[in-house]
Homo-oligomer: A and B are copies of this chain.
């Protein structure tokens, strides 16, 4: 059932200009290194020219003016056009998640489901609403009074706990849990006493949550994931956190309770942000960094504890000179005490 497109036709579909000549039949997409004769690949920029020349791809998406004698489509932004080509190859969503409510899905009589597709063994509880065009994979659980907007996709095994709200076009990958209790206890005479978590999670429009993300419900009020934000696999967002719009949090990042992230914040993988901090708009946090203070808008932070990247890089570079520096310090101390000791062969910039 693999589709095939003549290159000239793809040029039209992708909004590019077919460089006339060869018109190979394209059946797939691949990177330069992996492509074969049936594949369309792309040349991100002139620095990839040698790699492109060595590629076995049948054709290339290239910027205007790049010509190395191979079948090509010219487009202003080759990678964006490549992404549009990938979209052509996505499987039919009606095959993945067939239309209609599966006979085994349990929809509570007090729930409202306008969904295009509710998979086998889904459970939609009392008071829940699932908007038009939503697709729910197998074994999805929508808790009491939870609300899904229009055109959401929830893959297998997703859990949305009671009262939580998803906007429109939200995508949630398999296994993710929205609305588990926040981690809040008070010390008591017989151990820790649970603080009831009666708030909810609000996931705004166009958010995508990876697999095995956990977003805890607020103690009161809302934990918020702002519109258009993207959270990678295994990200953890604690209770009362507010994440702005168009953020991108890489895998295994953890945001502790009551943090506020502005818009456009980007984190690398495995970042940790301590509780009750504010991270300004457009801040960037390097992988594995540990943020323990507020971060200014547009700042770039690295390290543990996280510092401004320039200071962090200076420290990291200095660290590699530290062992030799200690020897040099000792030599200096000895210089005044006895026969001169040379500072040693350590290099220094």
Chain A residues engaging chain B, CB cutoff 8 angstroms: 28-31, 34, 79-80, 83, 86-87, 89-91, 95-96, 104, 106, 119-121, 123, 125-126, 137-139, 141, 143-144, 155-157, 159, 161-163, 173-175, 177, 180-181, 183, 185-186, 190-198, 206, 208, 210-212, 214, 216, 219-221, 227-228, 230, 232-234, 236, 238, 240, 245-246, 248, 250-252, 254, 256, 268-270, 272, 274, 287-288, 290, 292, 303-305, 307, 311, 314-323, 325-326, 328-330, 332-333, 335-336, 343, 348
Contact = CB atoms under 8 A, between A and B. Distances in A.
Smallest CB-CB A-B distances: 4 pairs: A86-B196, A191-B228, A180-B211, A214-B233
A105 B342 CA distance: 79
12 contacts: A31-B221, A83-B194, A90-B198, A91-B144, A96-B125, A106-B120, A138-B141, A139-B157, A173-B177, A212-B234, A254-B269, A322-B322
Question: Residue among A104, A211, A274 with the most chain B CB within 10 A?
Answer: A211
Contact of A219 (B86, B173, B174, B186): B86
A31 B218 CA distance: 11
Given A79-B186, A139-B139, A322-B322, A245 B34 contact: no
B86 A221 contact: no
A111 B322 CA distance: 62
A123 B118 CA distance: 13
B159 A157 contact: yes
